[in-house]
């Protein structure tokens, strides 16, 4: 476990969790979805590792900014992706070891917990129900037509989900989107290293704490 700011650990009341790469290892399904969609679009993939960059960012950003598609072609590509993901990719996923135990402990201590993800809302709810995680959360806030970025999602949670003191709230996630989004709305953040980001990415984004493992998250919250 990193010692960064260990003396600044607070007794957080509200805990916001990213989903992909934080609660579940969704990488295989997401990468398979991109592989399917890019194949449909006639794009040759250099190797499997190329697809890892798409675990975490919002779909629109990946297709337009990372892959350079026009808005119209990006919409086509996303439609192919969703075609695969809704049928197969959403289930090509698994809960990280220790996550259920952590959530159960946090719940027993009376913490208020939220999922804050840019995954499409219907798919986020499918994952949480299918893997038995939904019961732990007070609210699930995901991507919709009006909430497209991590900042949009986090603003909604902090303004509409009963968080009475933002200094008592913390965002947990594996990518810089989670950390910069948290900073934007005034939240502390815990960057996790077992997901799809790395220490440099999370530290450069300004993570308040860095957790190497799932149990380490609890040490910063409790």
Domain end call among 62, 91, 120:
91
Which among 193, 186, 181, 183 is positioned nearest to 220, based on CA atoms? 193
Instruction: Determine the structural domain holding residue 114 and report its residue range.
Output: 6-26+93-221
**Which pLDDT score is estimated for 10?**
78
Same domain, 176 and 186: yes
**pLDDT below 70 — which residues of the chain?**
1-9
**Of 3, 11, 18, 138, catalytic:** 18
Residue 141: which region, alpha, beta or left (left: phi > 0; alpha: psi -120 to 50)?
beta
Name the CA dihedral angle for 49, 50, 52, 56, rounded to a multiple of 10 degrees. 170
pLDDT digits (tens, 9 = 90+) for 194-213: 999 999 999 999 999 999 99
Q: What is the CATH number of the domain that holds 182?
A: 3.40.50.1000
What kind and span of H or E run contains 52? none
Is this prediction's pTM over 0.95?
no
Same domain, 155 and 187: yes
pLDDT digits (tens, 9 = 90+) for 102-119: 999 999 999 999 999 999
Would you call 18 a catalytic residue per the annotation? yes
Domain end call among 91, 116, 131:
91
Domain end call among 91, 109, 140:
91
Say if strands 169-173 and 94-95 run parallel, antiparallel, or are unpaired: unpaired
């Amino acid at each position: 476990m990193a010692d960064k700011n260990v003396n600044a650990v607070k007794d957080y009341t509200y805990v916001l969790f990213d989903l992909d790469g934080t609660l579940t290892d969704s990488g295989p399904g997401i990468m398979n979805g991109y592989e399917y969609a890019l194949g449909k679009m006639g794009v040759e993939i250099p190797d499997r590792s190329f697809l890892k960059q798409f675990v975490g960012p919002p779909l629109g950003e990946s297709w337009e900014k990372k892959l350079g598609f026009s808005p119209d072609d990006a919409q086509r590509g996303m439609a192919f992706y969703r075609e695969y993901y809704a049928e197969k990719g959403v289930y090509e996923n698994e809960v990280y070891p220790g996550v259920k135990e952590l959530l159960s402990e946090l719940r027993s201590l009376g913490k208020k917990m939220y999922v804050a993800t840019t995954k499409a809302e219907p798919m986020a709810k499918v994952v949480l129900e299918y893997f038995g995680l939904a019961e732990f959360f007070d609210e699930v806030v995901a991507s919709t037509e009006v909430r497209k970025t991590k900042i949009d999602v986090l603003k909604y949670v902090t303004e509409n989900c009963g968080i009475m003191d933002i200094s008592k709230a913390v965002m947990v996630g594996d990518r810089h989107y989670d950390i910069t989004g948290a900073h934007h709305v005034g939240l502390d953040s815990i960057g996790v290293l077992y997901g799809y980001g790395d220490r440099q990415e999370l530290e450069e984004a300004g993570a308040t704490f860095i957790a190497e493992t799932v149990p380490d998250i609890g040490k910063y919250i409790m």
